[in-house]
Structure 1
Amino acid sequence: MNAPADTALFTPNWHAQLELGYARDGAATRPVLRRHQGPLRVQKHLHAEGPEVCQHIIVHPPGGIAGGDRLDISAHVGERAWAQLTSPGAAKWYRAAGPAFQEVALSVEAGATLEWLPQETIVYSGAQAEIATRIELADDARLCYWDMVALGRPAAGERFAEGHFQAQLDIRWNGTLLWHERQRIIGGDGLLDSPIGLAGQPVFATLIATGEIDADLLERCRERPCAGRGDLTQLPGLLVARCLASEALHARAWLIDLWRLLRPALLGREAKPPRIWST
């Protein structure tokens, strides 16, 4: 018996929400808010570096994002608290007939620190991925943010021939726009191979950190080997690093190298990679 036409065309989708909050409690950072709806969770909070830094691992149990799915993530870091957020593995955006969405809203109060360090985003050919990230910083709040995007699946020989990837990143300091970036990449577009685009490299990554470093450290960072193309720019109050690579592992290794050098200088703490990155 054939299914009715409306059933045959129906594609299940998920709307998942996660809301997190952190506060300083004496010498420790504690999670004070953890609210979720749908398949989006955090694992048990960790204090691998001691009580000052609260680490959470954001988990999306379905393992992939399909057309019609929507993920909303928000995190608020209260005064003098320190939160480090990462993920257990790559986020996968699947081929779909319609767009899927992710919105991230992060706010960091005075004297607080947020490290947003997810693993890579893999956008399959034919996916329609639309991501928006808004970050609000107050006074002397500190931020270390990165993202890595792999278009297609190079290891499987899949190029990003169809679909689109769209991303927006806004960073505000006391309400003033500090950084605004928009990207829209169409599958099969000439910019994928153009020297003024991705130059044939399917992976691109960005690291943005508040603060400034001296010329010696900037040069040391630029000397770090990158299996692709990578460089850094020091702007007033903001450090920006970019890289193009043939594989996500290469981009991730370069970002971690930079983070190891920059964290002590910008955040005053030795860099200890989360154990989840090695599993």
Structure 2
Amino acid sequence: MPGPVAAPAPAAVHRRGRLAVRLERRGSRTVVAADEVAFPAGTVRLTDGDGDGLRELQITSPSGGLLAGDRLDTIVEAGAGTSVSLVTQGATRVYRARDGAPASGGDPPALASTGDPRDHPADANGGPASDHASAGRADPTVLDTSIAVAARARVEWVPHHLMPYADAAVHQRTTIDVAASGALLAWESVAAGRSARGERFGWRRLDTRLRISRDGRPLLQDGADLGPGGEPFDGADLVSTVVVVLPDPAASSASAARGLADDLADALADRPGVLGSASAPDDALVVARVLARDAPALYGALHAVRVRARAVLELPAPGRPVA
């Protein structure tokens, strides 16, 4: 008599979330002209925020976190003359990856921003980075964000930090294009893990890319591709990259960018629990990097940066910090 037949393992459920929003200026106000939402993305809420005069689009997620194999696409089109602050409701939690078969072809999932050779790191022998490649095949979570800033628009992309849990595999891509007369303040932050639980750099893979362009011309390409272990944050719990794109490059832009970079560096130098600096690699671009011992220190530093950047972008001072 044949033995019992094992039940097949349940198929992995991969959720494809999508949030697409088009913003328009009507009169003196920025409004949602069209939106499309698919779970695990949440509802779109455009509010007056903290009453500082800049409208706030709150990006919500009712799921509490992203699972292995989930993909979340976020697409925002900020139309001509709009002004908006794009915020998330809290940290983006990414849970552990399942062991499983490779994706089709044995490679990580194709993303809209692939094609750059830096998306496919090589090992010392010139071949694929085997440790990272194998980690990327274990049901990675994909976060793909695309933001378009039209003429005369002012946009903040100021999400809470990414929190990869132990054994998580994350591919994050953020692409932002800014029109010549548009302006941008953006930051993206990553935590070392749940440090209080001893989960420092316990992920399988963290692969992030941030790309900023002006009318299609590349301004900034930044990112990291990290495997588990080590101490890439030099003892800090969080790291953040801040980008400011100034409007209408002109003869005075170089001094404006350098002045803002110096101002941000001075502000970061005075913050407790923070190591940070800033520079102006382009006449219309300022970039800062911030290392922080904990979330309160990070968001205090980012608020100081935000206050100074808004003044240069001729936006009202923020009424409250992102926290």
Contact 1:52 1:82 in 2 (8 A): no
The residue number in structure 2 matching 1:32 is: 33
The residue number in structure 2 matching 1:138 is: 179
- Aligned pair 1:155/2:190, yes or no? no
Q: Structure 1's 111 and 161: CA in aligned 2 closer, same or farther, altered over 3 A? A: same
Query: Deviations along 1:101-120, whole A, 9 cap, x unmatched?
Result: 01000000010011011111
Corresponding residue to 2:235 among 195, 200, 203: 200
Q: Structure 1's 159 and 220: CA in aligned 2 closer, same or farther, altered over 3 A? A: closer
Deviation at 1:244, TM superposition (A): 1.4
Corresponding residue to 1:5 among 8, 20, 24: 8
The residue number in structure 2 matching 1:115 is: 156
- Aligned pair 1:268/2:303, yes or no? no
Query: Deviations along 1:166-191, whole A, 9 cap, x unmatched?
Result: 01111110111111113101111x3x
Q: What are structure 2's unaligned runs of at least 5 residues?
A: 99-138, 247-256
Deviation at 1:270, TM superposition (A): 1.7
The residue number in structure 1 matching 2:96 is: 95
The residue number in structure 1 matching 2:117 is: none
Deviation at 1:254, TM superposition (A): 0.9
Normalising by structure 1, we get a TM-score of: 0.88
| Paired positions, count | 268
SS of equivalent to 2:97: coil
The residue number in structure 2 matching 1:217 is: 263
Q: Structure 1's 218 and 94: CA in aligned 2 closer, same or farther, altered over 3 A? A: closer
SS of equivalent to 1:199: coil
Query: Deviations along 1:127-174, whole A, 9 cap, x unmatched?
Result: 001000111111111000011110221122222234110011111101
Query: Deviations along 1:55-112, whole A, 9 cap, x unmatched?
Result: 1111111111111100000000011111111011111011112211010000000100
The residue number in structure 1 matching 2:56 is: 55
The letter for the 1-side match of 2:217 is T
- Aligned pair 1:250/2:290, yes or no? no
Contact 2:54 2:316 in 1 (8 A): no
The residue number in structure 2 matching 1:65 is: 66
Q: More deviation in 68-77 or 86-95? A: 86-95
- In structure 1, C-alpha distance between the alignment counterparts of 2:303 and 2:5, rounded to whole Å: 53
- In structure 1, C-alpha distance between the alignment counterparts of 2:272 and 2:44, rounded to whole Å: 32
Cα root mean square deviation, aligned: 2.2
Deviation at 1:220, TM superposition (A): 3.9
Deviation at 1:3, TM superposition (A): 6.8
Deviation at 1:125, TM superposition (A): 1.6
Q: What are structure 1's unaligned runs of at least 5 residues?
A: none
The residue number in structure 2 matching 1:234 is: 280
Deviation at 1:126, TM superposition (A): 0.7
- In structure 2, C-alpha distance between the alignment counterparts of 1:28 and 1:42, rounded to whole Å: 20
Deviation at 1:14, TM superposition (A): 1.2
The residue number in structure 2 matching 1:176 is: 217
Contact 1:101 1:131 in 2 (8 A): yes
Normalising by structure 2, we get a TM-score of: 0.77
Contact 1:120 1:148 in 2 (8 A): yes
Give me the identity figure in percent: 25
Q: More deviation in 120-129 or 216-225? A: 216-225
- In structure 1, C-alpha distance between the alignment counterparts of 2:22 and 2:153, rounded to whole Å: 12
Contact 2:162 2:190 in 1 (8 A): yes
The letter for the 1-side match of 2:8 is A
- In structure 1, C-alpha distance between the alignment counterparts of 2:197 and 2:14, rounded to whole Å: 26
- In structure 2, C-alpha distance between the alignment counterparts of 1:214 and 1:226, rounded to whole Å: 23
Q: Structure 1's 245 and 222: CA in aligned 2 closer, same or farther, altered over 3 A? A: closer
SS of equivalent to 1:129: strand
Q: More deviation in 61-70 or 157-166? A: 157-166
- In structure 1, C-alpha distance between the alignment counterparts of 2:164 and 2:202, rounded to whole Å: 11
**Which one has the largest radius of gyration?**
2
Q: Structure 1's 240 and 161: CA in aligned 2 closer, same or farther, altered over 3 A? A: same
